[in-house]
Structure 1
Amino acid sequence: MDDNAQQFNDLEQLIEHLDTSTRNSERVSLGMIVESIGDRSFGPLLLVAGLITLAPLIGDIPGVPTLMAILVLLVSVQLILGRRHFWLPQWLLRRSVEEKTFTRGIRWMRRPAYWIDKLLRPRLSMLVRGPGLYAVAVTCSLIAFAMPLMEVVPFSANGAGAALTLFGLALIGRDGLLALIGFLLLPGTAGFIIYQLT
């Protein structure tokens, strides 16, 4: 994996980078994605996991939410432990989808990305630095533990994907308000899952 973490300032920039770096490949592996954004990019890795879980065609593939959960859990735990470079197992990095499926799913995010980026700005920075950053990592670990269950509860994985996307955007844009919204989204998602299972 690339030791040089890419710098992204907004969602459009990340989507464009993913689109360009995975073009002309028959299949897009998780390893290709991680290599393109760097193995020290906690925010972008969370954002990619959230986008893939949310994206039509990709997030609906059985097993994809669970794979994203493993990615989020491994990265979050390593951040909590103070690692600067994230290690991921080769069997996970080799997981892939067809390039056409990946491209259509990622490009679906282009239009909302434009409007999301207009709202993104530094604020409430205590929620995305120091203890706030670790709170985000712990919360993402808890989300990851719940995501395999979400595969059997229709639409619940969308709540997890939305929260991960918000946390990833918050870290990229240093926008603590988005992190706060991500925290507030979780009780509603948990309530929806419990309601569906009872």
Structure 2
Amino acid sequence: MSADGAQHQPVRNLLDKLKESTKDRDSLTFGAVMDAVGRNSFASLMLVIGLIMMVPGPADIPGVPTLLGGIVILLAVQMLMNRDHVWIPGWVERRELKSETIKKMIAWLRKPAQWIDSIARPRLSWLINRGSISVLDLAAIAIALSTPFLEFIPMSANVAGVAIAAFGLAILARDGLIAAVSVVTTIGLFSLVIYQLI
């Protein structure tokens, strides 16, 4: 794949990197996932976490959405601090996923990835600047903080994954429209959480 092709297929390119990293391995640590994606690519890691939460299964395991939400908060805070590489606690880096589980996740995401890549493109670039990226970071933190409550609302963690993946995708593709949709999704999720609480 050419560099230009990779740029315009951010989700499929990411899935290819993850699949490549599972070769000859029975399991994969989160640290290995970070190495495969790139430790200086906050947006790619945000996209990976969102994709994991989107897939039926992982987000339904008690505690997993909250753990992933905690990682999202770490990423978003470091983005706000303008750090040049990602720091994650060692115990999180050592968390393992079976390679077979990752391959099944990748297979499930292939068709959605093709559609997502077909609609993501540079547009409304004035919505993707330092200030708006900070707004996306804050929105990601807001969603991450809601994940403990979302665990009690069926399918809501999957929707949170869509929003988190959209944050990463908007930055990677320089797509202001996706950025705007992700913020609207955040508002919708918070409205749902508040409605459930009252």
TM-score (norm 2): 0.90
Alignment root-mean-square deviation, CA: 1.8
Q: Summarize the alignment of residues 67-86 of structure 1 with structure 2, pairs less than 5 Å apart.
A: 67-86=67-86
Higher mean C-alpha displacement, 132-141 vs 45-54: 132-141
Higher mean C-alpha displacement, 188-197 vs 66-75: 188-197
Name 1:3's counterpart in structure 2.
none
Higher mean C-alpha displacement, 23-32 vs 11-20: 23-32
Quick one: percent identity of the two aligned structures? 39
Query: Is residue 58 of structure 1 aligned with residue 62 of structure 2?
Result: no
Query: Is residue 30 of structure 1 aligned with residue 30 of structure 2?
Result: yes
Residue by residue over 1:88-140, the C-alpha shift from the partner in whole angstroms, topping out at 9 and shown as x without a partner, is 10011111222211210122110111111111110111222211111111111
Name 1:113's counterpart in structure 2.
113
Residue by residue over 1:157-187, the C-alpha shift from the partner in whole angstroms, topping out at 9 and shown as x without a partner, is 1221010111111111111100100011122
Q: Summarize the alignment of residues 1-198 of structure 1 with structure 2, pairs less than 5 Å apart.
A: 9-198=9-198
Q: Secondary structure of 2:158's partner? A: helix
User: Where in structure 1 are there 5+ consecutive unaligned residues?
Assistant: 1-5
Cα 1:7–1:72 change in 2 (3 A) is farther
Q: Which amino acid aligns with 2:118?
A: K
Distance 1:8 1:89 in 2: 32
Distance 2:104 2:23 in 1: 11
Q: Secondary structure of 1:24's partner? A: coil
Distance 2:86 2:8 in 1: 18
Give the conservation status (yes or no) of the 8 Å contact 1:8–1:172: no
Q: Per residue, is there more helix in 1 or in 2?
A: 2
Give the conservation status (yes or no) of the 8 Å contact 1:159–1:186: no
Q: Which amino acid aligns with 1:142?
A: A
Distance 1:71 1:122 in 2: 27
Distance 1:142 1:99 in 2: 31
Give the conservation status (yes or no) of the 8 Å contact 1:30–1:93: yes
Q: How many pairs does the alignment contain?
A: 193
Q: Which amino acid aligns with 1:168?
A: G
Distance 1:150 1:31 in 2: 26
Q: Secondary structure of 1:28's partner? A: strand
Distance 1:129 1:9 in 2: 21
User: Where in structure 2 are there 5+ consecutive unaligned residues?
Assistant: 1-5
Residue by residue over 1:35-94, the C-alpha shift from the partner in whole angstroms, topping out at 9 and shown as x without a partner, is 111111011111001001111232222222112111110111011112111111001111
Q: Secondary structure of 1:59's partner? A: helix
Q: Which amino acid aligns with 2:151?
A: E
Q: CA deviation at 1:7?
A: 7.2
TM-score (norm 1): 0.90
Distance 1:8 1:28 in 2: 27
